[in-house]
Structure 1
Amino acid sequence: MTRVATSAVPIAGLPSSLDAYPVYQIRVKDGAEQSATLLRLHIRAVSAARAATWPAALAAMDDATTRWLFKHGAGKAKRLRDRFGDQTLDLLYRWSSAGVVVFEVDPPAQPGGPHGSVYAWRLSDAVKAHADELTQRARQQQTLLQDQARELAEQLRSWPALQLLSQTLIEAPDAAFAEHAITAAESLIDDLRQKPRIEQVASAGDAPAAEDMILQRLGRGQMRDYLVEREPIARGGQAVVSVATHKATRHRVAYKRVRVRDADARARMRREIDFGRLFGDHPHVMPILDADPDGFWFVMPLANGTASQHAPKLQHVDQLKTMVISVCEGLREPHRQGLVHRDLKPDNLLLLHGRWTVADWGLGRRPRGETTEPERTRTGSGYGTVGFAAPELSVDAHDVGPSADIYSIGQIIGAILTAKTPQANIPLLPATGPWISIVEHTTRYHPAARPQSVDELLDAVNAVG
Structure 2
Amino acid sequence: MTDALTDAARNYWVDVNTQSYEPLRARALGGRNMASAIEATVDALVEHGIDRSWIQVGRDAYLPGSFGLGNTRWDILIAKEEVPLGAIAFTGQSGLSAAKNLTNRIHDWTSRAFSVRSSHDLGGLQPLLGLFIMLEQGNGHRVQSRLEEALNQFHGDELYDEIAYTCFAEEVLREPIAEMTVQRFIDRFSRRLLARAVGPLEDIPPYLEGYREVSEAARGVKSDYALERIPQKGGQAEVFRAVHKASGIEVAFKRRLSPREKAAARMGREIEISRLLSGHPHGTPVLDFDSRHQWFVMPLARATAEEQAVNLKDQKELLRLIRAVASVLAEAHRHGWRHRDVKPSNILLLHGRWTLADWGAARRPRGQTTFAGRTGAYIGTPGFAPPELSVNPHDAVPASDIYSLGRVAAWALTGERPLPNIPLLPAQEPWQTIVREATQHEIERRPQSIDELLTLIDREHDKRRS
- Per the alignment, residue 417 of structure 1 pairs with 413
Give the Cα separation in 1 of the matches to 2:337 and 2:246: 35
Query: Displacement, 1:295?
Result: 0.3
Give the Cα separation in 2 of the matches to 1:256 and 1:279: 18
Give the Cα separation in 1 of the matches to 2:268 and 2:204: 30
**2:436 counterpart letter in structure 1:** E
Q: Is the 8 A contact 2:203 2:279 kept in 1?
A: no
Q: Is the 8 A contact 1:411 1:427 kept in 2?
A: no
Tell me the alpha carbon deviations over residues 170-191 of structure 1, each in whole angstroms, 9 at most, x when there is no partner. xxxxxx9xxxxxxxxxxxxxxx
- Per the alignment, residue 400 of structure 2 pairs with 404
The 1:329–1:229 alpha-carbon spacing in structure 2 relative to 1, beyond 3 Å, is same
- Runs of 4+ deviating beyond 3 Å: 197-201
Tell me the alpha carbon deviations over residues 48-96 of structure 1, each in whole angstroms, 9 at most, x when there is no partner. xxxxxxxxxxxxxxxxxxxxxxxxxxxxxxxxxxxxxxxxxxxxxxxxx
Give the Cα separation in 1 of the matches to 2:448 and 2:323: 16
> Which is worse superposed, 211-220 or 268-277?
211-220
Alignment of 1:197-216 (within 5 A): 201=206, 206=207, 209-216=208-215
Query: Displacement, 1:199?
Result: 11
The unaligned stretches of length 5 or more in structure 2 are 1-178, 180-199
> Which is worse superposed, 222-231 or 453-462?
453-462
**Residue number among 406, 431, 435 corresponding to 2:427 in the alignment:** 431
Say how many residue pairs are matched.
Answer: 264
Q: Is the 8 A contact 1:390 1:407 kept in 2?
A: yes
**Residue number among 303, 307, 310 corresponding to 1:309 in the alignment:** 307
SS of alignment partner, residue 462 of structure 1: helix
Query: Displacement, 1:324?
Result: 0.3
Query: Displacement, 1:200?
Result: 9.1
Alignment of 1:267-282 (within 5 A): 267-282=265-280
Give the Cα separation in 2 of the matches to 1:373 and 1:443: 29
Tell me the alpha carbon deviations over residues 72-129 of structure 1, each in whole angstroms, 9 at most, x when there is no partner. xxxxxxxxxxxxxxxxxxxxxxxxxxxxxxxxxxxxxxxxxxxxxxxxxxxxxxxxxx
The unaligned stretches of length 5 or more in structure 1 are 1-175, 177-194
**1:229 counterpart letter in structure 2:** E
**Is residue 257 of structure 2 the alignment partner of residue 255 of structure 1?**
no
**1:275 counterpart letter in structure 2:** I
SS of alignment partner, residue 460 of structure 1: helix
**Residue number among 344, 353, 368 corresponding to 1:355 in the alignment:** 353
Give the Cα separation in 2 of the matches to 1:432 and 1:462: 16
Q: Is the 8 A contact 1:377 1:396 kept in 2?
A: no
**1:216 counterpart letter in structure 2:** S
Alignment of 1:130-279 (within 5 A): 201=206, 206=207, 209-232=208-231, 234-279=232-277
Higher RCO structure, 1 or 2 (CA under 8 Å, sep 6+): 2
Structure with bigger gyration radius: 1
TM-score by length of 2: 0.55
Give the Cα separation in 2 of the matches to 1:237 and 1:295: 17
TM-score by length of 1: 0.55
Query: Displacement, 1:443?
Result: 0.5
Give the Cα separation in 2 of the matches to 1:260 and 1:337: 29
- Per the alignment, residue 442 of structure 1 pairs with 438
Give the Cα separation in 2 of the matches to 1:252 and 1:345: 25
- Per the alignment, residue 377 of structure 1 pairs with 375
**Residue number among 456, 459, 462 corresponding to 1:460 in the alignment:** 456
SS of alignment partner, residue 336 of structure 2: coil
Give the Cα separation in 1 of the matches to 2:212 and 2:436: 40
Alignment of 1:94-109 (within 5 A): none
**Residue number among 273, 294, 297 corresponding to 1:296 in the alignment:** 294
**1:372 counterpart letter in structure 2:** T
- Per the alignment, residue 69 of structure 2 pairs with none
Give the Cα separation in 2 of the matches to 1:245 and 1:235: 18
Give the Cα separation in 2 of the matches to 1:262 and 1:421: 31
**1:413 counterpart letter in structure 2:** A
Give the Cα separation in 2 of the matches to 1:199 and 1:385: 29
- Per the alignment, residue 8 of structure 1 pairs with none
SS of alignment partner, residue 394 of structure 2: coil
Query: Displacement, 1:369?
Result: 1.1
SS of alignment partner, residue 437 of structure 2: helix
Give the Cα separation in 2 of the matches to 1:296 and 1:442: 36
- Per the alignment, residue 387 of structure 2 pairs with 391
Question: What's the C-alpha RMSD, in Å, of the aligned pairs?
Answer: 2.1
Query: Displacement, 1:301?
Result: 0.4
**1:456 counterpart letter in structure 2:** E
Give the Cα separation in 2 of the matches to 1:200 and 1:245: 21
Give the Cα separation in 2 of the matches to 1:271 and 1:224: 23
